[in-house]
Structure 1
């Protein structure tokens, strides 16, 4: 199957939002500044900010209402791939590769600019279909990759009554509610799937390099579903 002219041109430097993942917790007193920074990023079209709430602080007095064990495992895999030993919050991962501790707006802005300038080797296209969205990912490279669909709530508000943030009316953006692996991919042929839409959440597709031992590497391509 040949690349369409549009997709072939995209392979030279595919465009897509820079993916910024924030590992956070409603029970972490250090997290509100980073949560606020993610809220600011959510207003930008060139960035895909994602809030992944971890569950390992739930024991200190406030179980995070958005936390999922798989998000904690995802963070642990990132930390191991970077040669680290301990997880922490808040923790930002830019482009699946660069790490920031806490809210560091200047450093984050520099990383976003650098990743945007690089472009992506994978062109990801999401088009509305009768069943939801038709996904097509194409590249001129061959490498182990994983294709993921991420479902998120654009805005959420939580009244925290216990724990380190007791009394805080917390506002969150792009809260990840589901993360599903659509499949492994080597780039030799286009990756095509139909993705079901859900009324309660928005969705995005993120393609990442597959490292050894199941770890995920740099983001190779990304796209938001059209509204």
Structure 2
């Protein structure tokens, strides 16, 4: 995850889950919604189980996070179908724009805030006594608008308010939704605090 996150063409996000907390150590960065999102992806793909570590590539495919060579090959062969443009203004606002496309379904615009990195000393469980280094740690995920296939997207957001004081950056994801389940990501961009 950390290596992929250094690439300019990858938006890397670590959604820490809480369903392993019962084995002795509660993940410092776990959010209940992250496990729900992972279960929704599994359901969308017709899979009966979830696991960690898992990488989700563009909302379309899940793969074990330990398969590094396969993940790199998937990332190399995968592109987003639409270009999400971001323009920053001197007043601290961002304009997000993306053309419409009749080939795709309407999509949700997500604001996902994250911490760039953190180190945590593990007190209990199988990693007790170790210090773990994490990166691209998701702190929140919220829907902020819609992209329509007919009209596209043209939205302005206040950057500092969107980031909040504790985050190092945010990702904007434009993702199709199939009923209540997540679909493919059509466009994405990461913004980091200067």
1:110 and 1:121 map into 2 onto residues whose CA distance is: 18
Question: Shift in Å at residue 196 of structure 1?
Answer: 3.2
Structure 2 counterpart of 1:113, from 72, 76, 96: 76
Structure 2 counterpart of 1:185, from 140, 143, 147: 147
Structure 2 counterpart of 1:63, from 8, 16, 26: 26
Question: Shift in Å at residue 216 of structure 1?
Answer: 0.8
Q: Does 1:103 align with 2:63?
A: no
1:91 corresponds in structure 2 to 54
1:58-90 alpha-carbon deviations (Å, 9 max, x no partner): 111111110001111100000001111221111
Secondary structure of the residue aligned to 1:158 is: strand
Q: Does 1:127 align with 2:90?
A: no
Secondary structure of the residue aligned to 1:108 is: helix
Q: Does 1:77 align with 2:40?
A: yes
Q: Does 1:204 align with 2:167?
A: no
Question: Shift in Å at residue 162 of structure 1?
Answer: 0.6
Secondary structure of the residue aligned to 1:53 is: coil
1:80 and 1:224 map into 2 onto residues whose CA distance is: 27
Query: Which has the larger displacement, 183-192 or 156-165?
Result: 183-192
What 5-or-longer segments of structure 2 have no aligned partner?
none
What 5-or-longer segments of structure 1 have no aligned partner?
1-37
Query: Which has the larger displacement, 89-98 or 188-197?
Result: 188-197
**Alignment: residue pair count:** 186
1:97 and 1:159 map into 2 onto residues whose CA distance is: 33
Structure 2 counterpart of 1:157, from 119, 123, 126: 119
Instruction: Calculate the aligned-residue CA RMSD, in Å.
Output: 1.6
1:182-222 alpha-carbon deviations (Å, 9 max, x no partner): 1233222132131432343201111111112x111111011
Give the alignment's TM-score, normalised by structure 2.
0.89
2:96 and 2:109 map into 1 onto residues whose CA distance is: 10
Question: Shift in Å at residue 127 of structure 1?
Answer: 1.7
2:190 corresponds in structure 1 to 224
